[in-house]
Chain A
Amino acid sequence: MAAPLPPDLVAIMARGVSVIVASRDAALRPSLMRAVGSRVEADGGDITVYLSRPQSRQLVQDLAATGHIAVVFSVPSTHRSVQLKASRVEMRNADADDAAVLARYLASMEHEVQQVGFAPPLTRAMLAHRLDDVVAVRFTPEQAFDQTPGPRAGTAIGSTR
């Protein structure tokens, strides 16, 4: 269990910013995809990321087989970024209850991406998915790293070492 994340960072993650998910296979080959949504609960202690299965077959397979996950949350306009890691995930198919979460995420991302000069149609195409094809991946972060470009990039958040 990671040290608690700073509240301002949790707020940024919770409002819906860019989310990229990675794992790896038994041969240590990495896999990755952009998430089509995210949900942040319990002050950042309970994270769900949503993947479109047709775009993420290898990633979904690797997550199921190894449980290893790395996720970066990033604000497009400021590059403020945090990476979370865990070695256990729970996976399920998204259902009707998730539709509202995904819609809220899309609305936030349309705004975020517009800040860097791209109109909403591009964001909608980038995050397009069918609810039937979406996998929800839930995990509790075990480690968190500041990943904002600069001298502090890579520093563990809450680490006393």
Chain B
Amino acid sequence: MSGPTLQDIRCCFEGIIPATVATCSAEGVPNVAYISQVFYADERHVALSFQFFNKTRQNILANPYATALVLDPGTAQFYRLSIRYHRTETSGPLFEGMRAQLAGIASHSGMQDVFKLLGSDVYEVERIEALEGEPLPAPPARAGLLGAVRRASERLARCTSLDETLNAVLASLNDHLGIRHAMVLMLDPAAQRLYTVASCGYPTSGVGSEIGVGQGVIGVAARERTPVRIGHMTNAALYTQAMRSSFGANVPDFEAVAEIPYPGLAQPHSQLAAPIQNGGRMLGVLFVESTQELQFSYEDEDALVAIAGHLGAAIELMQAATEASESAAAVPAAPHAATPAALAPLVVKHFAANDSIFLGDTYLIKGVAGAILWKLLRDHSQLGRTEFSNRELRLDPALKLPDICDNLEARLLLLQRRLAEQGGALRMEKTGRGRFRLVLHRPVELVAL
């Protein structure tokens, strides 16, 4: 096929200037309508937003041929697409990707109460025609996105630990893609929640903060395993990432203090979330945002998805390498702990209901990471141990780690980072692959509740 491909004209599909579509009834009466959203589905298909039971809808069900007119918002170059209706999707990645983007378009155009996606009408693109005209000169192409992905890939390939890997991803986004606000969240498959393990560009790191699968741009990307991109600030409640309490009703007393606040922007004007996957499994989400409108293009989405793919492989590689060295190394003998006794003891409280841990009155962590820390502290106090291995944690029935895909490395990193943020009275230090040391700078008093 000569002429532009669908890939070439993706900039027309941002919903900045609405497209129009012509259809024709079985009786031969043409119809023309504005359409909020023409969505790039794949190399040969577009999806049009189905928002109302209107004439366009009636016509395509009777006569599937339609013609769409789109405009490059940068150059005013027109393209006309001869398209043929195939099917309507009302759930799944395509639908959810469109629904999120439409929420942004709707808020931007003051139509948030009117624009609601009922379905994604999928059309095969039979022909694309670049129309004659006097378009403006195209702005210079954004050089170097592929180079940026390459440099991110090189940095990731040099990493030898999960800690380094996460730092390398955030630094690459900042240095090579100009992205100032980003975070990495890992999936807890049993709880169906995502927890933040790394972030950059926020006043607080938010490490340990949680989001439910399906909640907000990040949660939808995780649930549908698809990138989600919104180019405008949206007021749609579904896509605001405001945090809700993750504590059960059975432990109401410390609900207010036991939240790590979500670190993200209060009013993001652009958001992009890419799923982190490997071997067909969902591992987490790489999320970026901006205070500027339309900050992330389809090309940025391409770059982020490629980097998230590499990140997924790296995370699993770190986990596998750790496990291999765990099985090779024997658990070292426990040297007796030398704890400074001069300072007043730090009271460490453990609430068994949800494995939450408080240092003094300050909430630290809960869930699996909380249970791990409690085991380490008890072993320290009862047996004087300071040296531990991933392997023994994995084998400890009390921790109830799932057999496979337990994300133990990510949970230990989360714990290590939370402890470091709390002033360092307690610290965890890596001592080798699959091994670490618990360091106490103050004596502790353990209180089980």
A: residues with CB less than 8 A from B are: 20-24, 28-34, 52, 54-55, 66, 68-72, 74, 79, 81, 83, 85, 118, 121-123, 125-126, 128, 145, 147, 149-150, 153-154
For B114, the chain A residues whose CB sits under 8 A away are: 149-150
Is there a chain A Cβ closer than 8 Å to B29's Cβ?
yes
For A149, the chain B residues whose CB sits under 8 A away are: 34, 36, 51-52, 111, 114-115
- Given A69-B30, A70-B32, are A30 and B23 also a contact pair (CB < 8 Å)? yes
Give 9 CB contacts A-B under 8 Å: A20-B34, A24-B22, A30-B65, A30-B66, A34-B78, A72-B34, A81-B34, A85-B29, A122-B73
Is there a chain A Cβ closer than 8 Å to B174's Cβ?
no
For B65, the chain A residues whose CB sits under 8 A away are: 28-30
Choice from A52, A69, A125 contacting B136 with Cβ under 8 Å: A125
Min CB gap A120→B, angstroms: 11
For A121, the chain B residues whose CB sits under 8 A away are: 136
Q: Which residue of B has the minimal Cβ distance to A21?
A: B32
- Given A28-B26, A31-B67, are A125 and B31 also a contact pair (CB < 8 Å)? no
Asked if residues B134 and A125 are in contact (CB atoms below 8 Å), the reply is: yes
Min CB gap A86→B, angstroms: 10
Known: A20-B32, A153-B54. 19 other contacts (CB 8 A): A21-B32, A23-B30, A24-B22, A30-B22, A30-B23, A30-B66, A30-B67, A32-B69, A33-B80, A34-B20, A54-B131, A55-B131, A66-B28, A70-B22, A72-B20, A122-B76, A125-B136, A126-B76, A149-B36
Is there a chain A Cβ closer than 8 Å to B331's Cβ?
no
Choice from B30, B33, B78 contacting A55 with Cβ under 8 Å: B78
Is there a chain A Cβ closer than 8 Å to B381's Cβ?
no
Asked if residues B71 and A154 are in contact (CB atoms below 8 Å), the reply is: no
Digitize B19-63: 1 where CB-to-A-CB distance is under 8 Å, 0 elsewhere: 011111010111111101000000000000001101100000001
Is there a chain A Cβ closer than 8 Å to B160's Cβ?
no
Asked if residues B71 and A68 are in contact (CB atoms below 8 Å), the reply is: no
3 tightest CB-CB pairs across the interface, nearest first? Answer: A125-B76, A30-B22, A22-B22
Is there a chain A Cβ closer than 8 Å to B75's Cβ?
yes
Digitize B105-143: 1 where CB-to-A-CB distance is under 8 Å, 0 elsewhere: 000010100110000000000000001111110000000
Min CB gap A140→B, angstroms: 16
Asked if residues B131 and A70 are in contact (CB atoms below 8 Å), the reply is: no
- Given A126-B76, A149-B51, are A32 and B32 also a contact pair (CB < 8 Å)? yes
B: residues with CB less than 8 A from A are: 17, 20-24, 26, 28-34, 36, 51-52, 54-55, 63, 65-67, 69, 71, 73, 75-76, 78, 80, 82, 109, 111, 114-115, 131-136
Of listed B23, B34, B75, residue having the most chain A CB within 10 A: B34
Min CB gap A63→B, angstroms: 10
In the complex, A31→B17 CA distance in Å?
20
For B131, the chain A residues whose CB sits under 8 A away are: 33, 54-55
- Given A128-B134, A149-B115, are A29 and B24 also a contact pair (CB < 8 Å)? yes
For B135, the chain A residues whose CB sits under 8 A away are: 125
In the complex, A30→B22 CA distance in Å?
6
Q: Which residue of A has the minimal Cβ distance to B25?
A: A28
Min CB gap B388→A, angstroms: 58
For B54, the chain A residues whose CB sits under 8 A away are: 153-154
For B75, the chain A residues whose CB sits under 8 A away are: 125
In the complex, A122→B17 CA distance in Å?
11
Choice from A32, A52, A118 contacting B20 with Cβ under 8 Å: A32
Choice from A126, A128, A150 contacting B71 with Cβ under 8 Å: A126
In the complex, A126→B76 CA distance in Å?
5
In the complex, A2→B383 CA distance in Å?
92
Min CB gap A35→B, angstroms: 11
For B78, the chain A residues whose CB sits under 8 A away are: 33-34, 55, 126
In the complex, A21→B33 CA distance in Å?
10
Asked if residues B69 and A68 are in contact (CB atoms below 8 Å), the reply is: no
Asked if residues B109 and A154 are in contact (CB atoms below 8 Å), the reply is: no
